[in-house]
Structure 1
Amino acid sequence: MLDHRLNLAPPTRREAALLTVVLWIAVLSVVSLAALLTGQVQSLPEALSLFTGFVTALCFAPILYGVVHLVSSRPLWLAVPVIFAGLTTTAVLQMLGDYGGQYLLHLSFADHRMPESTPQAMMVTTVIYWALSACNMGLLWISAASRRIRVKETELARSQVATLQAQLSLLRMQLNPHFMCNSLNTVSSLILDSQHAEANRMVERLADFLRGVMDIDGDEIRLSDELKTIDSYIHVEATRFGSRLHVAIDAADEVMDAAVPNFILQPLVENALKYGVEPVPGPVSLCVKARRDARELVLTVENESQQTLATQALTGVSPGHGIGLNNTRARLQMLFGDRGTLETQRLDRGFRATIRIPFNALAPAQDCKTAGRGDMAMQQ
């Protein structure tokens, strides 16, 4: 227990000074009120004598601040005697300073009486100052502990942000090898079937998607840019599914400049295609919607087949326990707290994922073309 190290983050000088001043103003207020009510203040010297303890306390308070700094991250067995010594030194100096101030008032004002200076009286005064110094130390200690908690929370938040950014970077780098292999296999099949024009279009769409992914910089982008990336991704995938996949991207003009976390829709769209379209033999529709609901931006990804399927694939949860959905929820929680949510709902013939985040419009871009404005529909 005594080997335990104190884990404190000492307050700044400004915080320490503010806490000390507030404490001693409170003490001075109580002492002054008591002296006035008991009739102990009859003259100017007696009124000034009330301030001697306040002044000396402010003069010697830096000792307590230094003690807090000294014992930070020190073993408890060393911190306890250092704290006791610091409190005792401060109390003794305050007592001597108080008596010194009273002596100066006595020299300046003939009618000012010196307080009792017997050893017993000086000991009592020292004990009182020791207790008040301990209160001052307690405030500094609480401030240091609170500051340490804030530092820890900040470090944890930064660590979580770094983790999520690493996961996002990994997602962008991997881009699901299954997706890349399927895309290249589709291009190869188109070439073998002499559908060179369609193969060329798919390669261009794949290049647009990869270019858009690599161009993403920062934590947030415009919804129009996110939809452009998603549109390229869906175009590539739609070539594999042919005419049985119907895709619609629906977003009003008022939300196109909304700020969204980059790559926030891709995992949801990928889940919809992989678990809601690929295993379904018949026609399937995929709809990506964006709308504003008061102060919130609502993003919806929904897949629906033309037949009722009792299959776990439509839950949108992969056999890997929904890593994509869990990562998306973690990102929203980190970026928006309780104001960022991902809700999922299993439908009779499909699955719906809905993201809600605070609506925050970015300044309109001046030199870039926003893709997907208004209602967009694509059918393969």
Structure 2
Amino acid sequence: MLPLYMTFNKRFGKFVIMSSSQNDKFNISRNLLVLIVCTAFALINFLQDYFFAINFDRQFEAWEKLFYYFLYFYTWGLLYFIIVFVAGKFKLEKKTWVKHLPIHIVAGAFIAFLHRLLTTIPYLLIFYPDKWREVSLSAIYTKTIGSSFDAFVSYWIILGAYYGAEYYKQFKESKLKEAELEKQLAQANLQALKMQLHPHFLFNTLHTVSSLMQEDINAARKVLAKLSDLLRQTLDNMGRQFIRLSSELDFLKSYLEIEKIRFQERLRIVYDIQTETLSAAVPNLILQPLVENAIKHGIASKAEGGEVKISSSKLNTLLVLKVSDNIGNGNDSNFKEGVGLTNTRKRLVQIYKTAFSLVIQCHPRQGFSVTLTLPFKEYDPEENDDTT
């Protein structure tokens, strides 16, 4: 019986320790688990004895065996709490194991003796009362001491399982903390990138106002009014990592109205938006830097101006966003990313890791284009609101 008992004891310790907690709810679950496991072990050992007796045609006292195994394992269930207390109080760690090891040896011997005493005396009193009267206390003491070795070994099995589970728990907690720190760092980096984009856009708009103040006061006032609308939209979406593509386009249209005042007929805007993409979730303020880049390096560099095209489409499970102009004024070899494109790429890496693509093409005749491919996902207000 000892090998089976020791095997199950090892599992018993693991199961119990994994469910231990300071929280009341977890304490109830732990206590219930101890009860279930002890009951299961008692029944398994009882059935093992039963089938052994059947196979070898031996006498089998069912009630006696059932009582003994329930008493045996329920006693371990009670002593388990003492073992866990001692293990937590006197931890066998690198700096303390030499000092605490003797304590555990004494505790193990005491608990082993106590277990045998608590199981032997009730068993004899109930099933062998006549023999109980004939047995002296010294004989009981000697027999209990002699049969306590397996219980002593069980103490160390439970102790080892406890420390194994504790170290695993600490390992998981450290991993969770590490993941949380990485998440906070990523959020901080994203926020820093946003803070770089907002002033960049704001200063450019104020520069537009400053230029118009010398040429057209009414136009400057219109720009300031549009700027206030933009700032309101920015504040409304400040706490959101993702917004609907339709909201992103609304913001973009407000921004382009300002640029239209500045460039007038030199700036022509074309939209090619698939209706099914309007509900897609996109990173907040993801298109504005791309459009601003097209205007700054394309439209603004030509006296006759040009066309900026903004398109969206769904390709299987992907969302494809494209910003392009028709100003052919360079090639891929001499192109360098500015602040807006660089920060946009960094944001996308933080959000999507490698699950995106940002392709920049610069043709001498066809013009400049940026194609952004993202995983297509419907916008969920509950999931994305108040997300930094």
Note if 1:203 corresponds to 2:220. Answer: no
Q: Distance in 1 between matches of 2:263 and 2:297?
A: 13
CA radius of gyration, larger in: 2
User: Which residue number in structure 1 is paired with residue 5 of structure 2?
Assistant: none
Rate the CA distance shift 1:28–1:266 in 2: closer, same or farther, 3 A: farther
Quote how far apart the aligned CAs of 1:326 are: 1.0
Pairing partner for 2:182 from 156, 171, 178: 156
State the AA in 2 paired with 1:138.
G
Pairing partner for 2:290 from 260, 265, 268: 268
User: Which residue number in structure 2 is paired with residue 373 of structure 1?
Assistant: none
Quote how far apart the aligned CAs of 1:134 are: 1.7
Q: Distance in 2 between matches of 1:290 and 1:324?
A: 18
User: Which residue number in structure 1 is paired with residue 12 of structure 2?
Assistant: none
Pairing partner for 1:356 from 374, 377, 383: 374
Note if 1:125 corresponds to 2:140. Answer: no
Rate the CA distance shift 1:158–1:134 in 2: closer, same or farther, 3 A: same
Deviations 1:91-145 (A, max 9, x none): 7425523431232122122389999825343133312332233224323432332
User: Which residue number in structure 1 is paired with residue 237 of structure 2?
Assistant: 216
User: Which residue number in structure 2 is paired with residue 12 of structure 1?
Assistant: 21
Pairing partner for 2:165 from 131, 139, 156: 139
Deviations 1:333-360 (A, max 9, x none): 3xxx66x524324253323231413422
State the AA in 1 paired with 2:223.
M
Alpha-carbon contact 1:222-1:257 (below 8 Å) kept = yes
SS of equivalent residue, structure 2 residue 239? coil
Rate the CA distance shift 1:120–1:362 in 2: closer, same or farther, 3 A: closer
Q: Distance in 2 between matches of 1:115 and 1:37?
A: 32
State the AA in 2 paired with 1:207.
S
Quote how far apart the aligned CAs of 1:287 are: 2.4
SS of equivalent residue, structure 1 residue 105? helix
Note if 1:187 corresponds to 2:212. Answer: yes
Q: TM-score scaled by structure 2? A: 0.70
Rate the CA distance shift 1:101–1:19 in 2: closer, same or farther, 3 A: same
Alpha-carbon contact 1:64-1:87 (below 8 Å) kept = no
Quote how far apart the aligned CAs of 1:247 are: 2.0
Note if 1:57 corresponds to 2:66. Answer: no
Rate the CA distance shift 1:128–1:165 in 2: closer, same or farther, 3 A: same
1:228-239 → structure 2 map (5 Å cutoff): 228-239=250-261
Alpha-carbon contact 2:223-2:258 (below 8 Å) kept = yes
Pairing partner for 1:103 from 117, 121, 126: 121
SS of equivalent residue, structure 1 residue 351? strand
State the AA in 1 paired with 2:250.
K
Q: Which moved more, 1:232-241 or 1:85-94?
A: 85-94
State the AA in 1 paired with 2:212.
V
Quote how far apart the aligned CAs of 1:21 are: 6.8
Quote how far apart the aligned CAs of 1:302 are: 1.9
Pairing partner for 1:285 from 278, 299, 307: 307
Q: Distance in 1 between matches of 2:343 and 2:19?
A: 41
Q: Distance in 1 between matches of 2:303 and 2:206?
A: 21
State the AA in 2 paired with 1:237.
E
Q: Distance in 1 between matches of 2:361 and 2:87?
A: 57
Deviations 1:43-87 (A, max 9, x none): 322223223343233323334554676589x97303675488458
State the AA in 1 paired with 2:225.
E
Alpha-carbon contact 2:112-2:151 (below 8 Å) kept = no
Unaligned ranges ≥5, structure 2: 1-17, 133-139, 382-388
Q: TM-score scaled by structure 1? A: 0.71
Alpha-carbon contact 2:293-2:341 (below 8 Å) kept = no
Pairing partner for 2:345 from 325, 328, 331: 325
Higher RCO, 1 or 2 (CA under 8 Å, sep at least 6)? 1
SS of equivalent residue, structure 1 residue 50? helix
Alpha-carbon contact 1:11-1:144 (below 8 Å) kept = no
Overall identity of the aligned pairs, in %: 18
Q: Which moved more, 1:83-92 or 1:211-220?
A: 83-92
The count of residues paired between Structure 1 and Structure 2 equals 342
State the AA in 2 paired with 1:57.
W
Pairing partner for 2:324 from 299, 303, 306: 303
SS of equivalent residue, structure 2 residue 330? coil
Quote how far apart the aligned CAs of 1:275 are: 4.1
Unaligned ranges ≥5, structure 1: 1-8, 364-380
User: Which residue number in structure 1 is paired with residue 278 of structure 2?
Assistant: 256
State the AA in 2 paired with 1:344.
V
SS of equivalent residue, structure 2 residue 253? helix
Quote how far apart the aligned CAs of 1:292 are: 3.7
